[in-house]
Amino acid sequence: MALPFRFCIRIRAKSGIAFRGSPLYHDAPLLPSTAHMLPVICILGPTASGKTDLAFALADRHPVHLISVDSAQIYRGMDIGTAKPDAATLVRYPHALIDILDPEETYSTARFAADATHEIQAAHQAGQIPVLVGGTMLYYYTLYVGMDGLPAANPHNRAVIEARLDSEGAAALHAELARLDPASAARIMPNDRQRLIRALELIMTSGKTPSAHYAAQQRAAPPWQTLAIALNPPRAELHRRIAIRFQRMIEAGFIDEVAVLKARPHLSADSPAMRSVGYRQIWQYLDGVTDRTTAIEQGIIASRQLAKRQITWMNNRLADVLELHHYDPLQGLDAALGTITAFINEKPLP
């Protein structure tokens, strides 16, 4: 059962979407050719900004299908440190794409886009409104823009680069990336093992730099009518929330959770799952590298750094793709809920 929806989008002549700074960038009602497009709601923002609270409030009011957009909550057994809703809450507010992998497994942005698209289509077929909620900005970007043209992972080339990384060190390989692709090197820190390997793997596999691949991508208009709600509390309040939440995670047994994960024979500190904020810092504490107080402080700092990256992504690259409606959660959720309800009820957006 398809529900009727209306939304104002940014359009340009002929096809695609226009970006800020373009003379073709303007408000226009949906054209007849796009009037049949089905709705999607996105709730995005930095960690600890109140995304989950808004999603639950929305689910209490409308028939929605919640879809997690979180690269850590996909893993089973990673509950406390990812701020995953507990089992009872997930019964009341079911989420797709939570607890779909073991921590030893890997998950790509391309797979997320495929999985999320499937969930969106299933929601529409069930007469529900898909609501994407989470802070993994690259997942949103891939879903709406795509990563067409990027070659698939090459296990042989990846193994070669991993061996070089182990023997030559991250600094040497990062310097090599800086020579080949300065723009990518500026975005990728030397200690970001996963992204460094992937960048060099792309070059080795295709002969083209990551920057060249991204520049060649053709951005198409999103396939759905999308309302994007961006939660962004003031910096001081966000930092306060992050510190409080991390302390509560510790009190809830986060250290024990990491200890259980650490005991898994095929999981290491370099596993993609263990790169999630907080897990690496607690792992180092359990290894005796740091003390408990330092690990907690480092976890809070890492969470703040994550929030800064999320905000940068949201306000730059995603703002070119989605029309973001910004709200300060300190002012309450009523304004955001009003915008969403207007979207759902075919009323003009406030």
Residue 183 and residue 281 in one domain: no
The DSSP secondary structure of 209-227, one letter per residue, reads: -HHHHHHHPPP---SSEEE
Residue type present at position 96? A
Residue 98 and residue 234 in one domain: yes
**21 domain-assigned:** no
pLDDT digit string, tens, across residues 218-256: 555 567 999 999 999 999 999 999 999 999 999 999 999
**Dihedral pair phi/psi, residue 312, rounded to 5°:** -60, -45
pLDDT digit string, tens, across residues 45-80: 999 999 999 999 999 999 999 999 999 999 999 999
Last residue of some domain: 193, 215, 237? 215
Percent of the chain with pLDDT over 70: 84
Residue 251 and residue 208 in one domain: no
Q: How many CB atoms lie within 10 A of CB 8?
A: 14
Residue 166 and residue 95 in one domain: no
Could you tell me where the beta strands, DSSP code E, fall in 49-169?
64-68, 95-96, 129-133
**202 domain-assigned:** yes
What are 67's strand-pairing partners?
96, 132
Residue 54 and residue 96 in one domain: yes
pLDDT > 70? residue 30: no
**96 domain-assigned:** yes
Determine contact, residues 219/17, Cβ cutoff 8 Å.
Answer: yes
Alpha carbon 305 to its chain's center: 15
Residue 236 and residue 63: Cα distance in Å, rounded?
Answer: 35
Last residue of some domain: 170, 199, 215? 215
**26 domain-assigned:** no
**174 domain-assigned:** yes
Residue 28 and residue 9: Cα distance in Å, rounded?
Answer: 6
**331 domain-assigned:** yes
Determine contact, residues 54/339, Cβ cutoff 8 Å.
Answer: no
Residue 137 and residue 165 in one domain: no
CATH number at residue 177: 1.10.20.140
The residue with tokens 């529409």 is: 124
3-class SS of residue 174: helix
**20 domain-assigned:** no
Please tell me the chain's helix, strand, coil percentages from 3-state DSSP, rounded to the nearest 5.
50, 10, 40
Residue 240 and residue 273 in one domain: yes
pLDDT digit string, tens, across residues 175-213: 999 999 999 999 888 988 888 998 999 899 989 898 887
Last residue of some domain: 164, 188, 215? 215
Residue 95 and residue 92: Cα distance in Å, rounded?
Answer: 10
Global pTM reads 0.75
Closest of 122, 25, 115 to residue 74, by C-alpha:
115
Residue 166 and residue 141 in one domain: no
Residue 75 and residue 160 in one domain: no
**76 domain-assigned:** yes
Residue 242 and residue 106 in one domain: yes
Strands 324-327 and 95-96 come out as unpaired
Q: Which residues contact 79 (CB under 8 A, 6 or more apart)?
A: 86, 257
pLDDT of residue 125: 94
Structure tokens at 83: 């701020």
Residue 324 or 145, more confident? 324
Domain count, the chain: 2
3-class SS of residue 59: helix
Structure tokens at 174: 């990062």
Tell me which residue range forms the domain holding 249: 31-148+217-344
